[in-house]
Structure 1
């Protein structure tokens, strides 16, 4: 029994190890690009992630109709306006932060723009009746639906990309680096720069370390904190700080490049909530979790629960059968014990004495039979008397012979 339980536990641990060590996966809808073009419009809405820029940069949506007319929506972290057959706005936006947000654009009947919390960014009185043939987005960084809320940046060549940061004094920024070959990333924050390399199996900051290995997820956590009036910026790997520097303020962007020009991807992980807004929430703070790890852990836990449930059901079935057998054996032993139990004299039942039945009367013989019976009886007595006399005489003679023999012996 103990060996079976040990084997079952080892198997479950192996499953958990397999599922948590799953290969790196990138969803196509999460790849960041500088524009989105939807030319085959089949639905009345378009959902996307957008990085809201500060002034003077603006996100621009151009809606093309089949009548060769164009309509525009433009917005940033301060205001939004619409240009169709008339001009609407500018209107103040509900959220003034420059960050990633999820939007749903509607273009049937009326122009609508809702964020992840279903808050309208446009009034509901902007009519729009033209048949849409194409929708184009530009002016910022975008991703399609991306249900995991993990924008994926492609870094290739030596140009690099500017990654928006959501790090602050209370909320860290989670990054994952991955490539199929070795690579050397370089990070620039404000006026400082640091190189990332490997020393053995650990990530380290410094030019003299070796390149990052391919085929492995390299995870970083960025944090900031205040110290003596300065903003301290720290980079962690496996829970240990590998780079620390002092900055003038909390960084909003970080430039990422490839030192040797080899391409790799950088994945940002943050919960968008209902508004598609990472980290900041008036009611609660949410911690960031790598979705791939989360789903792997969930799959492993489901397998663990199923295995434990099957084991418990098997044990319950065996226990039920054993209980039935034990109850049957106990019942048979109890009945046998009751049958073989000696009778206690103290609990003997009283015996009821019944009167004896009188013997039936002996029928009297008829006179003739009485005479025959008397004759037979007298004859029998005579024979018995003669026999007794003969036996007595024989005994006396034998006794005399024995005495004479004894006398002869004594005389000798």
Structure 2
């Protein structure tokens, strides 16, 4: 990894992957095909892009039951404990409806209502991501969403991973479809003969999935346009270089476009981490992917002092931020922009990915400046409640009518004045 002295002139590295014009046109064509041809389009596109024929899109009860034979008791116990941790964390995010009453009889408030239907995209095909199911489904269930439909690309034999099916069953999800890619997003947005449309689509995917979510936004809601994974580690001389290198590589192995950055105040630590990354890469099964990410979007910045390091972290606004310094909690108040913050030497990023409880669906590409992790509130909507008494309208009606006329809206003004017994 390249070691860079952090100065005001340095442009900080961030992966900003965006779809090409050709990819955008491909996605647009796929969406139109699904809109026009429904299930048949899904089957054709699955055969073309996933290389498998799927006649029955909905996963059967028999397939789900059989999946339990392939998952060990130990793995099942871990899935259940992770589920419970995630549910416990998200249960603390629930917002209640509320009302307030004023002396003149005015009643104001807010009604919190869960969405009716949510679609969850789970990456699949060559890999299985049961953690993605937990992170997207649990907060929706805590919010009170009644219908959750799950889609995931099939394996070459036309089935879904046993771990994926078992995790879905442990959450009570029965509406599972063997489709992926942009075509799955289109099906959730517009509906087909088999799949009913949903109100919101959540879950990560490749660039085609991200572009499809972008293109159907407005027809349905989406969680975010997720980019490649990112990690920034803020470390001082007390950090263990072997641990830091392992954490950087834990994100680099996701994607050749993933970003892995160390910001440190110690040049000796920078050199040690750089050497460790090279050493650990050699034995990494996904060496080619991780090496491409490190070479393309990896960097080690050496800051003159801790404040300069903190400023760099806030500018990067990373998806994952590890703070590995002598007093990490002292740094926390200064961190303004990060999707998830891991404090201390033992809070490695994978702890949050799988087990601790907070959501691992996080803002990327610097959007942590204005976005939050996926949470229960993402699966609800709010309605304002307004009830004016006669006394309240008599007290404020003239001001309301005057405000309406200030904006040139005479009918608005008259709608109030007629209730006050004044005709124009």
Greater radius of gyration (CA) = 1
TM-score (norm 2): 0.23
Question: Comparing both structures, which one devotes a greater share of its residues to helix?
Answer: 2
Question: Comparing both structures, which one devotes a greater share of its residues to strand?
Answer: 1
TM-score (norm 1): 0.24
